[in-house]
Every structure is written in C-alpha cells, then in structure tokens.
Amino acid sequence: MSNLPHISNWVDGTHAAAASDRLVVINPADESPIATVDATPHATVDEIVSKSLVTFKEGPWSRAEASDRFAVLVKAASLLRARIPEFVELEVRQTGRPIREMRAQLARIPEWLEYFAGLARVQEGAVTPFKGPVVNTLVRLPLGVVAQITPWNHPLLISMKKIGAALAAGNVVIVKPSELAPLSILKLGALFKEAGLPDGTLQIISGYGRDTGKFLCENSHLSKIDITGGLATYKAIASVASQNMIPITAELGGKAPVCIFPSMDVQQAVKASLFASFIASGQTCVTGSRLLVHMEIYDDFVNLLQKRTKALRIGAPTDPKTQIGAVINKAAVERCTAFVSQAVEEGGKILCGGKAVTVTGKGFFFEPTIIETSSTSHLSCNEVFGPVIAVIRCKDEEEIINIANGTSFALGASIWTRDFTQAHRVSQKIDAGIVWINGHHLNDPSSPWGGFKESGIGKENGREAYESYTRVKSTVYNYGIMPEWFDDEAENARYG
C-alpha cells in the first residue's frame, strides 16, 4: 500500500510530518483502500493540546473582534460552497453512501458556518436587575481548547455543526474524526486557513478512537469535550472528564419511532417510512427504526411497504440512480445479520430483506429489511445502526405513545397524521428531544438537536450550542455608597 496517498494531521496551519504509525481508510462499497492517515500517538496528542492552549491564551482568535470572526467564517462558508463537489466525492468514497444523498446533504452544510457566524456578530451582553446602586454586566467568553469527537456516518455535517459553534464563540478546536471516514475533515484545515483563520486555531488529528480519541479526552487542559457516538464511548470519556472537571456535550444513540395514524394516506405513509428508515442505509441516530402503525391501516400499509422496499435500488454509491448504498464495514453487516437472527428467534416475521448482498462481488451491503415484531423484542428496543427496521401493529393512539416512549432512547420521533389536534396532543406526550410532525430527518442550523435519556446530554445547533461553547463572566459595578460593615476603630482593634 506504499502507493496510497497519505493525509497527515493538520496542525498549526499545515499538514504535519507523517506519523510512523498509519491506518488505512477503506471504501466500504468495494473494499478498496483509499488513503492512509496518521495513527496519532499519545505524546503527539499531548503536544498538540499544549500548543493549542498557548494559541488560545495568546488570543489571535479568542480575543478577535466578533466582526472579524464573522468575516472568516462567512468566507469559509463561501469557499466550502464552491468546493462541494470535491467533498461529495470524498464522502461517497469513505462512507459508501449514495451520491444523490451526499449532494443533497452537503449542499446545505455552509449554512451552519453562516448561521454561527451570524450569532457571533450579533451576540450581546446583558445587564441584570441588580438591587441597589449597582450595575451588573454579563459577557460571554470562549471556553478555551475544546475537543470534538466526530462520527463516520455524517462526517462533514456533524463536524461542521460542532466546529462552526466552537469557532464562532472564539475557541481553539481540536477535531478527532472517525478513523473510518476522516478524509473530508482533514481537507477542512487548508480551507479554513485560506479563509483567514489563524494558524493553530483549528487542529485536526486522526487515529483510532480507542487510542488517539482516548488520549485526547484524557488531557486535563481541555475546556470541553463534544462527542457524537455510542453510550459506551460516552461512559468511558465521562469517567475521565469528570475527574478533570471537563463538561461534555454528547449526542448518542436513538431508536426513533415513526408513528402512523389512520388519517394518513397509505401511499404517503409508506413514502414517509422509506425516507425515515433507509436514508444512509439506516445508519443515522434518528433512523426511523420502529414503524408504529395504527391497526386500521396496518394491513394495507404493510402490503405496500413490502412492495416498495423490495423495489429500492441497491447499487454502487457513485451511481446517481442508487437508492441504497453500503454499510460502513464488515462489522456492520454482521451486526445487521445478528439482529435479524435474534428477531426471528423471538418470533419476528421477515417481510422483506434480511440478508447481506454485494454489488460487484465485494463491498458491505445489506438488504433493506422489514421485520414484523413485538414492541418488546430486541430489535424494537435496541439500536441496529443499519437498514433493519421493526414494524409494529398498534391498536390505538395510547398504545402508539406508550411504545414510542418504551425504550431507553429519546432522540427523535415523527408523527404522521392529518388531524392537527391529534398531532399536537401526541407530540406533547412523546418523550424525545426532536419531534417531527409530518416530517423526518428535517434539520436546520437554528434548530437545537439533541435527546433525552440515553440519547445524550446537551444540544447541537441553535443558540444553545453556541452558548455551550462560552462561559459567562459577571462584572459588578458599585456606584453608590461604599459598604460600612466595620468602622476604623473596630477594624484596627486587637483581639486575644
């Protein structure tokens, strides 16, 4: 593999000298190697954090005017928008997702930079209603050096959510992308430099999560950790972060219910379910992985769903006609297979799919799969992170709500009904951080994104995300009578 291109870490405004240890990035659609990246060792991680702390304290970005940060981020957005095709090609190759999906998703990503740039530009302080002849001013300041651990399923989108908020607030950012899909993130360094971001303000380091990611999150000089990943990873990081008093934002797993009521046209309900369930081959935290269908339309719905699911086009991700691309690796195929096997053992009925397939004799693909099962089955209660979907017959609205709330996850949920009163009533009762009515996967930089229960802590997007990358400083001005607790005689008196 010596002829593979190598993309090293982006540190202090340039690609650093290549590490001695490297890892190979694989195209999941055909199992071909794409490139190598650094497997960053512990000592290098600590050195990068130390350099980043110096950069933050010296203040070329942390003390920059809000208007200057605005200008840099808006220019970065413009540069990114002009280069979307390059990033689409990389994202397709490293994730195996269909090009039609990636073109649609990446076209919107510059909006995140523009939104957070706008927040930085209009951020205002406050004066509190302090009692007495006192003025209390509040200002928001950047935290310091922040670490961001990003996933492989939406590499550029999720990274930009975090990077945009953190940079807008004035922080120095260290990003550790997933070892499975780091290439598009490593490409961002030069883009931000061209936009005018000071060297050392955005550091991008690659490596295995169990090593490089762990080394980064163990460093006591961090001021925040922002992670998108699984619950096990969060728990491992949280135990160390708590010892160092480092706050964490964590966007974790999900088991999103798609709640379908009788007022919905069956054809529309099926289209909605396909979109909710099979975007990214089911590899998103808000995949509509539980179809909760009212019994009045259940049979018609399931019959049409089977036909439409079987007709989905599995193929090469580079083909614009492909609707279902690859899953990320062999382990993902094995996980999907295991979920199908256990569902059958528990009495579930495979309505369509259920097997691994290949497109050209190689690659990691899994058929879009629908399994009729109970609400308490392993499939219904646990995250697959693949195209294996549970469909559940529900007798009434109350049962749909109870099942929707019946897992340890509470990230996203969608409600499909033409009854406005019902939509409002059900949305109020569903326990999830994001509830869509007659929609799914809808996202916007202004809309807070995050869940409850085991789905995470804190928010991406919105003012909430921006403010989570700041600390509030309170300055109290006394312009009235000075305090007179002790007179001079008492203050100078000797005791004992």
Positions marked catalytic: 251
Q: Are 34 and 27 in contact (CB under 8 A)?
A: yes
Cβ pair 238, 216 in contact under 8 A: no
The residues, any chain, with a CB within 8 Å of residue 491's CB and separated by 6 or more, are none
173 Rama sector, left if φ>0, alpha if ψ -120 to 50, beta otherwise: beta
State how far the alpha carbon of 130 is from the alpha carbons of 46, 134, 433, 451, 471, in Å: 43, 6, 34, 35, 20
Phi and psi for 190 in degrees, rounded to 5? -65, -35
225, 147 contact by CB (below 8 A): yes
- Tokens found for residue 422: 């019902």
CA distance 334 to 352: 18
Scan for tokens 């190759």, then name that residue.
Answer: 93
Burial of 85 per CB tally in 10 Å (0-12, 13-18, 19+): exposed
